[in-house]
Chain A
Amino acid sequence: MQPSSQSPPQSPKNSLVSWWHTLFGHPVRAFGVVSLLLLIFLAIAPAKNHFSEWRHYQKQYLSLIGARGDAVTLQRHFNGHSGIQQIWLPEFGVVDRCTTCHAGLKEASLSDVSIQPFRRHPVIPHTLDQFGCVMCHRGQGPATTVEEAHSSTLAWEQPILPARYVQSSCGQCHRAPLTGTPQLNLGRNLLARYGCVHCHTIKLPDGTAMKPTDDPPSLEHVADKTTREWIYAWLKDPQAYAVTATMPNFKLSDVDARDVSAFLIANSTPIAGDTAPASPADKDQRALDPAAGASLYGESFCASCHAVQNAAGNVVGGDIGPELTRVGNKVKPEWLRAWLRNPRVYDPGTAMPHFRFNEPQLALLTAYLGNKTDSDLLANVHLDPATPEQIAHGKHLVTEYGCAACHEVNGIKKPDNFAPELTRIGSKPLTQIIFLPGMTHAIPDYVAAKIRQPRSFGSALKMPQFTLNPAQIDALTTALLALTDRAHDLPMALTVAAKPASSYEPAGKAGQLMADLACFSCHSINGRGGDLAPDLTWEGSSVQRQWLLAFLKNPGTLRPALIRRMPKFNLSDSDAAELTDYMMTVYQTPAFERDSMPLSSYPSAQVEQGRQLFYSKYACQSCHIVDSKVDKGYVGPALTQVGSRLNAAWIYYWLKNPQAMRPVTIEPNRNMNDEDARALTAFLMTQKGSKQETGK
């Protein structure tokens, strides 16, 4: 360094020489100066240490706990842990020094402290010593300054994960749904349900690929089903037809939508029977009272799976099948009739059951659904006949936009890896990402923005616009952020595997019937199927044959306050018997012998004891109805006819431990002794139901 004071007569060189003489002219003086310099240099390290950020926070923490009632305890906890703290977990690659500043994480008594870094960690199922901090929160564990630990720096790309996505971290190890992570569970469902994985491959750490759960319709015979005008309107805005549609908007221009619709219609091949014109007899049926159609729609429990938007704009009904608010605008009456007769002719894999409707019923339902129209939907769609050029251009667009990734299209192969693979999206290097101007340079912001508005990253991008609410966008982002390098590189022993998907298939004629009736759309058996209706894995142990047969012929509801019910399939006697016999024989629990307890003739003293227990000790009437004049319980199934519905052994073992019979049941385990369980079983078996009561 040159001295700054420069007087004109002295040259810089002269000035330097005089400085040198002042400091080092004499050996003793020189020694003193050198010693002083050495001391100063030596002091730098301790000074840096003394004024470091973490020391400042530890001092603050001490003064915070000093003012509290349990200062002595807190002080004692802290004393062993002053200085830089570290959690080292070699198997996870975790070196976390976060607890150096976050000193009160484990102190239950600090739950009222709201200033950081001294908050107590909320109660979670894991401890700090097991998993450290960055496994869940990301950020840079070994850093000892606030900035380096929390933000992304030149050398560190992973900033702290915002709280709204924190459940993604659970998903790194937990592959199965957890009760405590609804957002992650929803996100994973949406990835499968919105068909993201048709285009984007997501390989799970166990080596399997994530499978879609939606079933986009095949377009091979689409001209049988609908018109070119409807396809055009649908492509332009799917949600204008059905607000719940999961089909995304490809933002096609008018010309492109015209050409795609032209190609799809021209490319469709007919199925015999779909276009059969209605017989003259049906013409009279169509004029029938619309109330009759509505009541058939109601009796068939179409609303268990299909929703309709009511006048108030609310969507009411199930979400297994498509929304039917404007179905009359979409489907051709001939096709609808053929579909209702047997949907498996058009789509062998459909979730829709094969209702055995008779001809008048088919006419009634076709007419009723055909009237569900919206005059505005197709009012402004006027398409001239398609030209070969338009059809060729349409085919080009269908290939270009990857329509065949979701839908079957004649002559176009399903493209492989149509969109970028998302297997490790949660750890994608920032250098490979082009951010939008003004956007925070972090993976969560990128992923969320991409889902929210894919085309904002470039109008030429192919990814369509999905209709998602903010919570769904966050859920999807959370599920994608769980797909990190760590999730894939963890030893299998340290992960919690998902239950493998069941490929259970019932055998024989009954198996064919169950497929035809689409039982698995609502019921689950041996781990396969839906969750709308009860699990039937052990139905054969549970119910009596007579009851099951009658129920299949004419289903009722067991629960007084349940809106969704099992449809009536109009089964023939032989089909109903076939199904009943199969279920009674095959779906039995190994836990007990079904017929080990009698269905009737229990001693009246025992029955009376059971009645007492039912109404007093166990107060079952809070949830169940035995005597419909007195009891009002609306939570569990009505028990007025339980003696002719359930087997005695099933009731007995159910009372002993309901969750052992059906793990998801909410009936509390009462830890009942054998005598009480036997008496209650005896009492319940006397509830055979009378004609009068069943009519209620």
Chain B
Amino acid sequence: MSLKNQWPTLIVVSFTLVAAGCSRTATPAFAPKPTGFGAALVESSGGKQSGATGMVLAQPVVVQVNDEQGRAVTGALVDFGGPAGVSFDPPSGLADSSGQLSTNVALGGMAGRYQLTARTLSKAQKPVELKIEEIALGYQQELGFQLDNKYCARCHNPESTPERVSNYDNLEVKPHPFTEGDTLNKMSDAELTAIISHGGPALSKSALMPPYGYTLSKTEIEALIAYIRLISDPPYHASGIVYAQK
């Protein structure tokens, strides 16, 4: 064989080498080998959080692997997954000595509810799944969240923290927590705007709710409503024409 006939091979090989050298993608993470198998996955903490789109949630998501008797299993391999754009650090790992695995979650770039899944394998190699829901706040909802924190949460959030003692129990007419979808979903955007701007009496409700129309701008009130709509439980669906969805 002359050298001439080998030219194509040489070219192909050298191109492959150059291309491999230029590779810009990360190598896939090495998955560890499980040393234990569980029968159930439970959420320890980190569910039902809300955080800005694309950003790491404040608390890590912690799941626990249990066996049939509900005892923690060490060394089970847990995989996390979610819709496009969600990233986990680490994406998978082995449960520690208390059966737990913790991961930092960054939600995707679109505001809304994200259903995350944690998976592990049982002894019989059957998949065991756990669904965890998180909420991503877009710019508008994030602004609403900040406003809620500053102006509203003291009365509308019954939970007290060391920094903020809730005023909820002190009020004769109880305010609706913003997650209370059963009530708030029935109110239109116009009604919410009215009660925020002009206070409770605008909708013949309690005067304990003061008006914020001279304090908050129109944009801020819209942001607040966008936030309330997003965190509502059960989820809020805008009324009006329902378009065919593909």
Contacts and interface: CB of A to CB of B under 8 A. Distances in A.
Contacts of B146: 179-180, 182
B155 to A, nearest CB: 7
Contacts of B166: 634
Contact of A125 (B142, B165, B212, B219): B219
A622 B147 CA distance: 19
Q: How large is the interface on A (under 10, 10 to 19, 20 to 34, 35 or more residues)?
A: 35 or more
B139 interface: yes
A316 to B, nearest CB: 8
Interface in A151-168: 152, 162-166
Nearest to B136: A163
Interface stretch (A188-196, A211-219, A266-274, A666-674): A666-674
B133 interface: no
A2 to B, nearest CB: 16
A125 B222 CA distance: 12
B179 interface: no
A563 interface: yes
A352 B48 CA distance: 40
A122 B210 contact: no
Nearest to A437: B27
A635 B167 contact: yes
A289 to B, nearest CB: 27
Given A619-B206, A635-B167, A180 B142 contact: yes
Contact of A68 (B151, B215, B226, B244): B244
A309 to B, nearest CB: 15
Nearest to B23: A438
Nearest to B162: A563
B110 A471 contact: no
A182 B25 CA distance: 31
B56 A470 contact: yes
Contact of A164 (B25, B56, B151, B154): B56
Interface in A659-695: 659, 666, 668-671
A689 B226 CA distance: 44
B131 to A, nearest CB: 19
B115 to A, nearest CB: 13
Q: Is the interface of A mostly helix, strand, loop or mixed?
A: loop
A474 B140 CA distance: 20
Contact of A69 (B110, B147, B241): B241
Contact of B56 (A440, A471, A563, A659): A471
Given A471-B58, A622-B155, A122 B24 contact: no
Contact of B211 (A67, A114, A152, A668): A668
B167 A119 contact: no
Contact of A114 (B110, B209, B215): B110
Contacts of B154: 634-635
A69 B244 CA distance: 7
A261 interface: no
Given A122-B138, A180-B143, A670-B211, A67 B54 contact: no
B180 interface: no
Interface in A471-524: 471, 474
Interface stretch (B35-43, B101-109, B187-195): B101-109
Interface of A: 64, 67-70, 109, 112, 114, 119, 122-125, 152, 162-166, 179-180, 182-183, 316, 438-441, 470-471, 474, 561, 563, 616-619, 621-623, 632-635, 659, 666, 668-671
Given A114-B110, A618-B207, A622-B210, 19 more contacts: A67-B243, A69-B241, A69-B244, A180-B142, A182-B52, A182-B146, A439-B26, A440-B24, A440-B26, A561-B167, A619-B206, A619-B207, A619-B208, A634-B167, A659-B215, A666-B151, A670-B214, A671-B211, A671-B214
13 contacts: A68-B244, A70-B243, A122-B140, A163-B109, A179-B146, A180-B143, A180-B146, A316-B162, A470-B89, A563-B163, A622-B208, A634-B166, A670-B210
